[in-house]
Amino acid sequence: MKKTDDFNKLDLFIKENAPLAPKPAEGHEAAAADALSRQLKKRSSLVRNSWIVLAIAASAFLALRSKETPQVVPQRVAVQQIIDDIAEDYGQGDDTPAPAYENWELLAESVSTAAVSRQ
Amino acid sequence: MTTVGSIETNLDKLVEEKTDGKSASFSEFYRSHQLYIRNMLFRIGIRDELDDAVQITFVKAWTKLDKFEKRASVKTWLTRIAVNVAYERFRKLKPAPPTPPRQLQRTENRVENQQLVSRALESLTIEHRLVVVLCLIEGHSLEEVSEITGHPVGTIKSRLHRARTTLQKTLKELGLEL
């Protein structure tokens, strides 16, 4: 009985004093929601499961990662989701083996390097 | 504050709208539920990449909304997606070195008590922390936690018991007698 009482006190203390996540900067939540919403609309119009899309997405991902700000995070997240989805689609194909994730990153590096050298 | 009831209502409406091909609002979906997901992810240990994890959770949920079969409640389904995102993050991270216990006193100050709970949660393994956060803090039932984690109810019960014992021990080491 003592143990149950102790656990009840513990449970109450944990619940009443549960840590809270730091609040995002003012306006960040709304900006993130709108940015994600826009990215998802654009995403739905893309032709998926293609190396061209993958290359563009990977390049964008790297470019966005290099200049990280709160406003850029939603765009990078959306791009990352495209890459993950394409990887998943390849995994579900009958004959096409899913490329290892490292290969996607390698490809992304190549695309990024090529983009930089053209600038 | 977002209540369980409002989560259920809003998500049900959203699932219906998206399934019917109507212009459901992702922004509304995100704004309504991000606080719950944000706090839950923070409590189970997502820190530096919290914004990323929250947003990935919602993008995944939105894109898979059509596949939601209503076998579980929508809150359980959304929580499961968030927990999977958290696990992916933890797999990528190297385990942090254990932090030495530092004496903290229970006070009437809520912020200091939250620090105590935070330190105690950090002393748990991720599996035990997850069960504590979902059951004790977020108020999920054992069956729901079983659905979220994919482990049997018996395993969840046993993890909860061991986690409570560890929490008591850690809080005692930190100078708190309950």
Rounded CA gap, B178 and B161, in Å? 17
- Tell me the one-letter amino acid at A65: R
Q: Can you give the pLDDT at residue B58?
A: 85
CB B140 within 8 A of CB B80: no
For residue range A71-112, list pLDDT tens digits in order: 556 666 666 666 666 656 554 443 444 444 445 555 555 544
pLDDT tens over chain B, length 178 residues: 444 455 555 666 666 666 555 545 677 778 778 889 999 999 999 988 888 888 889 888 877 877 777 777 778 888 999 999 999 888 877 665 555 555 555 556 778 888 899 999 999 999 999 999 999 999 999 999 999 999 999 999 999 999 999 999 999 988 887 7
- Measure the CA angle with vertex B169, ends B168 and B171; round to 5°: 65
Rounded to the nearest angstrom, the minimum Cα separation between B151 and chain A is 22
Q: Can you give the pLDDT at residue A3?
A: 63
Nearest CA in chain B to A78: B59
Q: How many CA atoms lie within 13 A of B132 on its CB side?
A: 32
Q: Can you give the pLDDT at residue B89?
A: 87
Of the residues B2, B55, B56, B118, the best mutation for testing chain A's interface (the one with the most A CB atoms within 10 Å of its CB) is: B55
Please, which residues have CB within 8 angstroms of residue B120's CB and are 6 or more apart in sequence? A14, B167, B170, B171, B174
Please state, in angstroms and as integers, the Cα–Cα distance from residue A5 to each residue in A2, A107, B135, B162, following that order.
5, 58, 17, 16
Q: Can you give the pLDDT at residue A68?
A: 58
For residues A15-38, give the mean pLDDT.
77
Decide if A17 and B58 are in contact by the 8 Å CB cutoff: no
Rounded CA gap, B53 and B83, in Å? 10
Q: Can you give the pLDDT at residue A40?
A: 61
Q: Can you give the pLDDT at residue A100?
A: 44
Cβ of A80 under 8 Å from any chain B Cβ?
A: yes
Q: Can you give the pLDDT at residue A63?
A: 63
Q: Can you give the pLDDT at residue B144?
A: 94
User: What are the structure tokens assigned to B75, written together?
Assistant: 């809150």
CB B109 within 8 A of CB A6: no
Q: Can you give the pLDDT at residue B93?
A: 72
pLDDT band at A117 (very low <50, low <70, confident <90, very high): very low
Rounded CA gap, B44 and B83, in Å? 9
Which sign does the torsion angle of CA B87, B89, B92, B96 carry?
Answer: negative
**Maximum separation of any 2 CA atoms in chain A, in Å:** 74
Which residues in chain A are closer than 8 Å to B177, comparing Cβ atoms? none
**Of chain B residues 69-128, which have a CB less than 8 A from chain A?**
110, 113-118, 120-121
pTM of the model: 0.66
Rounded to the nearest angstrom, the minimum Cα separation between B81 and chain A is 14
